[in-house]
Amino acid sequence: MQAQPLSEGSPAGYLYRPLGARAVGLAGAYSAVANEPLGIFANPAVMAWLPPVPSFGLSLSLLGLGRLHGGFAYAQALGTTGFGLGTGIQSFSAGSLTARNVWGEVIGTYTPQNVALLLAGSYRWEFLSIGLAGKYLWSGLSGAGISGAGGAADIGALFHVADRFSVGLTLANLGGFLSWEGRREALPVTATVGVATELWFSAEVRRQRHPVTGEEQLSWLPPSRYLLLSAECRYTAGALRPSVLIGLELAPLTGIALRGGVTAFGDDRGRARWFSPQRAGGGVSIQLPETIALPFRLQLDYAVTYEYSSPSQVLQSLGLTAQLLP
């Protein structure tokens, strides 16, 4: 059974899955467009570009057979210093398993559990940010007294060019390992290169006077209607071939975004395949109106994609993002 089809058979295979409904909806073409707290798991350079107020992200993916993949993250820019800070937790649970001895007798119920704790920081210049994240990894079989621990590091960079193009570069799981009962297993490094562009349907300009000189200044506001195109090339050490991912995000109305993505080229159980329908995803995002009663901005996300080992062959992902109002 290919319980972790994206892991190339390595330990801690859940680390190679997209985390968050937006990443799932874009089929993983996400490293160049990450703009939310959970994006620190895809590219640790994203934090320096976030608003200088606390933002929180929560995600849960239902993989079938009792398996759950989820995460929680906090991230923000630190004022005007250029620094960004973020932390989060990622978990993968495979549900309960009935254990039997060689005679078929039930000896207990075990629960496979995996946890990754992440702490990241980034620094931003005018068009470029770089980020570094450290991860503590723990995997165990609750009820059996078996567990392993390890660590890994992620490095990322994010370029923004003329507010229309972005480029993301990441190296994930550098030096990654898990130690089990004295045996050490290495995690393969994953390298990604992503590029994205955004086409605006509505460009808003804010005019204001400089408080000292009195001169009129113009500033561009984030567009409420846009089309985002994203592409990413990803290679994991030991894989037969790299993967090329393509994602699209369309915001036809203010506060609503539609997403879709597909693996344009990649490995499909040992064979090269172009535009596999089994590696496609889609989703929707709704930004709730701001109210006086709530001191933060809320966004709901939903995504669906194909899942090899689910009885329904469907993976559903739910997400919630909250950003405190300045």
Sorted by where each begins, the domain ranges of the chain are 17-324
Angle (CA) 231-74-248 rounded to 5° is: 20
Domain 17-324: homologous superfamily in CATH: Outer membrane protein transport protein (OMPP1/FadL/TodX) (2.40.160.60)
The confidence score (pLDDT) of residue 1 equals: 39
The confidence score (pLDDT) of residue 273 equals: 84
pTM above 0.75, yes or no: yes
The 10s digit of each residue's pLDDT in 312-325 is: 889 999 999 999 88
The 10s digit of each residue's pLDDT in 218-246 is: 555 566 788 999 999 999 988 888 999 99
**What confidence tier does 136 reach under pLDDT thresholds 50, 70, 90?**
very high
The 10s digit of each residue's pLDDT in 79-100 is: 889 999 999 999 998 888 888 8
The 8-class DSSP code of residue 24 comes to: H
- Nearest residue to 245 (alpha-carbon basis) of 164, 132, 158, 168: 168
Characterize 151-161 residue by residue with b for buried, 16 or more Cβ atoms within 10 angstroms of its Cβ, and e for exposed. Answer: bbbbbbbbbbe
CA atoms within 13 A on the CB side of 323: 20
**Other C-beta atoms within 10 Å of 174: how many?**
15
**Other C-beta atoms within 10 Å of 1: how many?**
7
CA atoms within 13 A on the CB side of 303: 31
Do 177 and 149 meet the contact criterion of CB atoms below 8 Å apart? no
The 10s digit of each residue's pLDDT in 204-223 is: 655 555 555 666 655 555 66
